[in-house]
């Protein structure tokens, strides 16, 4: 069995995935890290030099690759389930259990403000108001995909450790 973490940028996929993998002693794969290693470029460099469409093509290719693996905790990028046939591939992958880490707009704004620069889609947004407006619209569009996950876990007001333990308790 594998666990696939889904959710908007800043929902905690990478941080919670790493923690979860330690608890259950599964291999941890962060799809963004996987792409960066395979392409030998950082995510901002890929967007800057090759463009978003190239990134989405590689994201699809490597998603299919890692979905073949078992006993992994897989943290996706925020956009992964929202392009092409990716969400269907996740839902149909054998032994994969998908979890949507659901976070409110204010929580996302708070977590993403200090980390905007590493995320090309929001790096240009200057004020808290701009970030709030962008996330509100973007999350509305993407929720259609996220909400197809097998399970939803609300993250607001919970620490990383509490969320990881909640997931473990719900699964085993």
Ligand X SMILES: Nc1ncnc2c1ncn2[C@@H]1O[C@H](COP(=O)(O)OP(=O)(O)O)[C@@H](O)[C@H]1O
Ligand Y SMILES: O=C(O)C1=C[C@@H](OP(=O)(O)O)[C@@H](O)[C@H](O)C1
Residue ranges in contact with Mg ion by CB under 5 A: 13-14
95: left (phi over 0), alpha (psi -120 to 50) or beta: left
14 binds ligand Y (CB under 6 A): yes
Give how far Cα 142 sits from Cα of 66, 111, 159, Å: 22, 19, 24
Among candidate residues 75, 98, 111, 104, the one with its CA nearest the CA of residue 145: 98
Residue number of the CB atom closest to Mg ion: 14
Residue 78 vs 81, nearer CB to ligand X:
78
What are the tokens at 123? Answer: 């790096």
* Window of 19-27, 119-127, 128-136, 160-168 that interacts with ligand Y by CB under 6 A: 119-127
The listed partner (ligand Y, ligand X, Mg ion, none) that binds 102, CB under 5 to 8 Å by sort, is none
Residue 79 interaction partner, one of Mg ion, ligand Y, ligand X, none, beta carbon < 5-8 Å per kind: ligand Y
Residue 102 within binding range of ligand Y, rule CB under 6 A: no
Q: Which residues are annotated as a binding site for Mg(2+)?
A: 14
Q: Which stretch binds ligand Y (CB under 6 A): 16-24, 66-74, 93-101, 113-121?
A: 113-121
Burial 2-41 (b: 16+ CB within 10 A, else e): bbbbbbbbbbbbbbbbebbbeebebebbbbbebbbeebeb
Residues that bind ligand X (CB under 6 A): 7, 9-15, 75, 78, 111, 115, 155, 158-160, 163
């Amino acid at each position: 069995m594998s666990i696939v973490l889904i959710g908007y940028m800043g929902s905690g996929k990478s941080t919670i995935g790493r923690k979860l993998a330690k608890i259950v002693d599964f291999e941890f794969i962060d799809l963004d890290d996987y792409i960066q290693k395979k392409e030998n470029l950082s995510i901002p460099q890929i967007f800057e030099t090759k463009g978003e469409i190239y990134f989405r093509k590689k994201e699809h290719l490597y998603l299919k690759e890692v979905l073949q693996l078992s006993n992994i905790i897989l943290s996706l990028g925020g956009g992964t389930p929202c392009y092409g046939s990716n969400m269907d591939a996740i839902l149909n992958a054998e032994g994969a259990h998908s979890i949507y880490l659901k976070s409110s707009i204010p929580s996302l704004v708070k977590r993403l403000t200090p980390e905007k620069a590493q995320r090309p889609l929001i790096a240009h947004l200057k004020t808290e108001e701009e970030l709030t407006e962008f996330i509100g619209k973007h999350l509305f569009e993407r929720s259609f995909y996220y909400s197809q996950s097998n399970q939803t876990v609300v993250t607001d007001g919970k620490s990383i450790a509490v969320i990881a333990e909640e997931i473990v308790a719900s699964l085993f």
